[in-house]
Amino acid sequence: MHEGLRALTLMVAIPVSACSQEAASTARDVPPDVVVLLADDLGWGDVSWNAPHDVATPNLARLAREGLVFERYYTAPLCTPARAGLLTGRSPLRMGLVRNLGDSDAVGLPESEGLLPESFRRAGYATVLAGKWHLGDSPKEQPTARGFDHAYGCLGGWIDYATHERDGELDWQRDGTRVRERGWSTALIAREAVRALEQRDASKPLMLHVAFNAPHPPLAPPPGVRVDGLDAESARRATLALVVADLDSAIGAVVAAIERSPRARETLVFFASDNGADPRFGGSNGELSGGKATLFEGGIRVPALLWAPGRVEPGSTRRLVTHLDVLPTLASAAGVELDVPQPLDGRALWPELATGADARPVFAIERGGERRYAVLAGDLKLIETLDESGTASFALFDLVRDPGEARDISAERPADVTALRTELEGWLALPRVAPRSRKR
């Protein structure tokens, strides 16, 4: 393990120091801190509680044991729509963001969209982003123009972990200014998050979004580690496992910084992946079918948890939650009023987090001339495919009896197909805001 991350990881073993009564009283008088940890392309089978003999994620496994695990957490199947939904609480369908920026004419999140960090800032929170953005890179679209006081990391995807370059150009910035720094991106992002926790204004609550680019390709073993003597497929998986272990150590360092703080028990920590894994690069979605860029479970169902000592029961679980629900729920827990210009699609599930009713979310993706939509309703999922001519086909799956989506039951349950098609049509009829486009 390289030295920068080694120094951070050592913090995990440091016990929480006792807080004075005065510090504890002050902590209770300030709303809770909110920390959102996001991995990039981490699959269902890339965490140790779902694949215990394959990958090592002891820090995340500890948070899962001590917190609430989302057994069915759903997100968009690609980076840009996943982040757009998470930070707005609104369906990416409303914004025309069903592909990644760079893969379409869209070049940024619509300026009319309100980001939830803006509501936290209006409520008196300091707001910090450490890591990946991928929602636009013009001055009006960068994170410091969309609700974050400070931002550090990369604006796009596919950066090199060591050089921080994408397509030969540096993509590493602090508050909108490019900076060239030495270091592995995972360690640098963790270091920035730790700095934000340790140097924060104690009179203000903190909303910290830590968006790692790991384990997104281009993958390479972290510094000081080699993968030798394996066939190509095994080498890809071994490299992925090393990058994930490195990510887990970085998360452990961030959590250790939280635990050293007098506000340790006044902090809500949410963790998830932005979308499913891409098996071509060594990622695993376990028993789930498909992967990144698909609407099968492996593309949109990912590991997620909430760690909030004293606020959620250790070892508890929650059934169906989406990325649109995350910040409305955390805002409700923190007492933050979400003052946004557009209606939310996500739900505030606090305090009935473990017992609330399921949503009926819809997900979408466009590949070439083909469009696909998926709508979830309890145990069922309907996938509609529109080919280039506009001809529609449907597949219906029972996700409890058939989590691998091996058997299409649409012919057996036509009433359910009709009901879910009606649900989907309602979503597709919602008003939309076009993203900024290169054609303008």
The residues assigned a catalytic role are 79, 134
Determine the distance from the C-alpha atom of residue 172 to the mean position of all C-alpha atoms in its chain, rounded to a whole number: 20
Beta-carbon contacts of 360 under 8 Å, excluding residues fewer than 6 positions away, are: 375, 376, 377, 423
Sign of CA dihedral 1, 56, 42, 15: negative
Half-sphere exposure in the Cβ direction for 231 (13 Å, CA):
2
Alpha-carbon distance of 360 to 378, in angstroms, equals 8
Beta-carbon contacts of 55 under 8 Å, excluding residues fewer than 6 positions away, are: 45, 46, 47, 48, 241, 244, 245
CB atoms within 10 A of CB 305: 25
Element (H, E) at 386: strand 380-386
Three-class SS state of 202: coil
Question: Which of 83-105 are b and which e, b meaning 16 or more Cβ less than 10 Å from the residue's Cβ?
Answer: bbbbbbbbbbbbbbbbbbbeebe
Alpha-carbon distance of 27 to 262, in angstroms, equals 7
Cα distances from 145 to residues 31, 34, 251, 286, 437, in angstroms, run 24, 20, 27, 39, 18
Determine the distance from the C-alpha atom of residue 430 to the mean position of all C-alpha atoms in its chain, rounded to a whole number: 25
DSSP 388: T
Angle at 191 between CA 189 and CA 196, to 5 degrees: 95
Alpha-carbon distance of 6 to 108, in angstroms, equals 36
Could you list the beta-strand ranges (E) of 236-333. 267-273, 301-302, 304-307, 316-322
Cα distances from 49 to residues 46, 54, 64, 107, in angstroms, run 9, 10, 8, 37
